[in-house]
Amino acid sequence: MNMKLENPITVTDIRPPILVRSQKGRIFTMTRRQSFGISLCISGQITYRMNGSRYVSTPDCAVLLPQGGSYTLHDDENGLFPVINFLCEKPICSEILVLPLENPQGCLQDFKKLQNLFLFGEHRLQIFSVFYGMLQKIFPDNSPKNSRLLPVLQCIEANLSSPSLSNTTLSEKAGISEVYLRRIFREEYGTTPKQYILGIRIQKAKQMLSNTGLSVTAVSEACGFSSLFHFSRAFKEKTGLTPTEYLKENQLFHL
């Protein structure tokens, strides 16, 4: 089975972890999954069927579930399955991937850490740090090919809400020129640092508009846009809707 990812994993949003209980004999159909998912296994067994192929989840592996994918899930045995749903800048897979784990207990410990972080306030940087640590256990070779980009990505994550985040800031953090930064960034991610940051900010804005109850102005500021006008224009270019229109169609938060 080909377990190669279509693109590097660049996470833009992480949903609260959930613990799914399987019940032997149950069958569930998933249609156009809304996010990517990592499913672990504490006990039991689940079989996924997608496009004529069969994928089995057991305690010694992780299952990567594709955003937009449709499949059936068969509970072969009673058991417990930790699941973390997340969004990415670019598609990373279109089929289910079953990934052998060298350290299953380490991944389960990371899952518990994420549960605790989501319970107690805003810990975005810690949440991303723990989740990327889990991904490193699952995909040992998923780090950027060019090690100079590691401090760049860390800087983006730490300063995403700052309107002053720029190529100058990133290149200084990595100790390289802006020209070289743009070149190696495009080689690694197929886009410019500016567009990469914009994509993450739009994804964060969509998430905040959907479930925080904050105003469009507050979301604009939290996502690092220099002005409400800039936010509204960029958001519509990326989504086809104004932030207000998106808020009305997708708001999940209720007072």
Instruction: List, for residues 108-131, the tens digit of each pLDDT value.
Output: 999 999 999 998 766 888 899 999
CATH code that applies to domain 11-138:
2.60.120.280
Cα dihedral across residues 210, 213, 218, 221: positive or negative: negative
φ and ψ at 166, to 5 degrees?
A: -145, 170
Contact 49/57 with Cβ under 8 angstroms? Answer: no
Residue 3 has pLDDT above 60, yes or no: no
The CA–CA distances, whole Å, from 36 to 78, 96, 150, 151 equal 24, 10, 23, 25
More confident residue, 1 or 21: 21
The pair of three-digit structure tokens given for residue 155, joined into one six-digit string: 């800087």
Chain segment 224-240, per-residue pLDDT in tens: 999 999 999 999 998 89
What's at 106, amino acid-wise? G
For residues 218 and 168, give the distance between their C-alpha atoms in angstroms, rounded to a whole number: 26
Domain spans in the chain, listed from the N-terminal domain onward: 11-138, 149-250
Question: Within 13 Å, how many C-alpha atoms sit on residue 177's CB side?
Answer: 3
Tokens of 115: 């549960």
**Confidence tier at 140 by pLDDT (50, 70, 90):** low
pLDDT of residue 85 exceeding 80: yes
pLDDT at 141: 57
Q: What is the mean pLDDT of the chain?
A: 88
Is pLDDT of 144 > 70? no
The CA distances from residue 186 to 31, 165, 180, 182, 245, in Å, are 34, 18, 10, 6, 32
pLDDT digits (tens, 9 = 90+) for 63-78: 999 999 999 999 999 9
The answer to which of 35-44, 135-144, 160-169, 204-213 has the lowest mean pLDDT is 135-144
Res 253 pLDDT > 70: no
Beta-carbon contacts of 103 under 8 Å, excluding residues fewer than 6 positions away, are 137
Domain 149-250 classification at class level: mainly alpha
pLDDT at 136 (0 to 100):
87
Q: Nearest-CA neighbor of 89 among 206, 170, 4, 8? A: 8
